[in-house]
Chains A and B, each alone.
Chain A
Amino acid sequence: GAVVSQHPSRVICKSGTSVKIECRSLDFQATTMFWYRQFPKQSLMLMATSNEGSKATYEQGVEKDKFLINHASLTLSTLTVTSAHPEDSSFYICSALKGPNQPQHFGDGTRLSIL
């Protein structure tokens, strides 16, 4: 069964709205979670690395004030897309790391559509 839960699976909202996406590890504690963005027919693009209890590390070109990440517990990380605009429409996927030398386990993604 799924080991990482991501919610919601789909969001459609108006431009200017802020959207929060949750990523939960279901049966393990994840000190590190990752947030990705995926464009159609392309591979995953890492946005940021989320570490429990500390600030997220953002990849080059990703606006930290636009994409707020909170990793407040060992089983939950959230991504908030602030004041979303149509160009933010995409497929956002989170993953969680069970431990060193372990594979990342992914949520089922969130399809975000900004009108």
Chain B
Amino acid sequence: EDQVTQSPEALRLQEGESSSLNCSYTVSGLRGLFWYRQDPGKGPEFLFTLYSAGEEKEKERLKATLTKKESFLHITAPKPEDSATYLCAVQSDSNYQLIWGAGTKLIIKP
């Protein structure tokens, strides 16, 4: 069964304290892995798509990496405005639906 598990559920960091969020997945055939950011009361905002193991993408303080079993979202020197819930989703090669993780709530304290 296709499945996505994110850890930790919640992460509190001091401003400037770097860390990583994990997204473990099992899927019959991976079409793509997606990272989104969701602020309270808003829809998810697209961050990255990763298609194959070894691929990396960066945007400002965020860097996403992918292996055959998991993806990491590394956040370097975070700022309070990086506080949000980060969602990971995978798309199998059988259809366009996304299989979602439960998300990691990231809180950056000034």
State whether A109 touches B41 (Cβ < 8 A).
Answer: yes
Q: Which B residue's beta carbon lies closest to that of A103?
A: B46
- Given A43-B87, A43-B101, A46-B97: A103 and B49 interface contact (C-beta under 8 Å): yes
Residues of chain A within 8 A of B45, CB atoms compared: 106
**Docked CA distance A97–B54 (Å):** 25
Interface membership of chain B positions 33-59, coded 1 if the CB is closer than 8 angstroms to chain A and 0 otherwise: 010100001111110010100000000
State whether B46 touches A105 (Cβ < 8 A).
Answer: yes
Asked if A49 is at the interface (CB within 8 A of a chain B CB), the reply is yes
Residues of chain B within 8 A of A93, CB atoms compared: 43-44
- Given A42-B102, A43-B87, A97-B96: A106 and B31 interface contact (C-beta under 8 Å): no
Asked if B25 is at the interface (CB within 8 A of a chain A CB), the reply is no
Asked if B98 is at the interface (CB within 8 A of a chain A CB), the reply is yes
- The contact of A49 among B46, B49, B97, B102, by CB within 8 Å, is B97
Asked if A104 is at the interface (CB within 8 A of a chain B CB), the reply is yes
- Given A43-B103, A46-B97: A101 and B31 interface contact (C-beta under 8 Å): yes
State whether B96 touches A44 (Cβ < 8 A).
Answer: no
Residues of chain B within 8 A of A94, CB atoms compared: 43
How far in angstroms is the closest Cβ of chain A from B1?
14
